[in-house]
Amino acid sequence: MRVLELLVVAVCLQAVQADKDNIVKLTKFNFDENVKRGTWMVKFYAPWCSHCQRLKPIWEKLADHAVSQEWPVKIAEVDCTVSKNICQKANVKGFPEVVLITDGKPKGKYKGEVGSAKAFEAWLSKQGVLGDSTAASSAAAAAPSEKAEARWQEAQEVVRPTATATHSKAIKAMMQNMLYRFPTESLVTNIYAYFFVTMSSVVFFYLIAFQMLEEEHEKDS
């Protein structure tokens, strides 16, 4: 019975991982090679960005839907703290930024609602990249309004120009990236891990200090 339970858990974990794999991870090593062919909807983000974190489950759901419906569009993402040059080349001004790319050329930037995958689907349908059948099923979804675009702009966390970036901001971004991505991709697990390492280091330091004091005391006596 125990073996059966473990098998069920393993299958569930594998299914969850498969869902996440529907999002294509683009980096400085594979970005140009991938986007030069076909249509791509790319999310440029930073792990420390709170708006990006809220968008994450919606983006995963959109990728799953795109695969299940066999869309001619690939759902992808770029971590701008890792592939900084790609984001600068794409002229990313805030996080998150969603760009539609066809055959290597930007075709538009999403500025609508981000509360559901349906909003992204409606926007893609409006761009004419989903085909007639999908476009018909998405026609009822409202197009992004001026208010929606304004809310999207407000929700973005602004990226300062590289020329004015300070060392402190760079260090802060690096530390936030480490917290969200190393040693695991779970924030809670990483916090426990860093807490354990920190406390172990403090205890080790005090043990060394006490030992040195003891040795010094013995010499004096």
Residue 17 has pLDDT above 80, yes or no: no
Give the pLDDT mean for 87-113. Answer: 93
| pTM of structure | 0.61
Distance (Å, rounded) from C-alpha 193 to C-alpha 195?
5
Q: Which amino acid is at 57?
A: P
pLDDT by residue (tens digit) across 147-202? 555 666 665 665 544 433 445 555 665 666 666 556 665 656 767 777 788 888 88
- DSSP labels, 149-191: HHHHHHHSEEPPPGGG--HHHHHHHHHHHHHHHSS-S-HHHHH
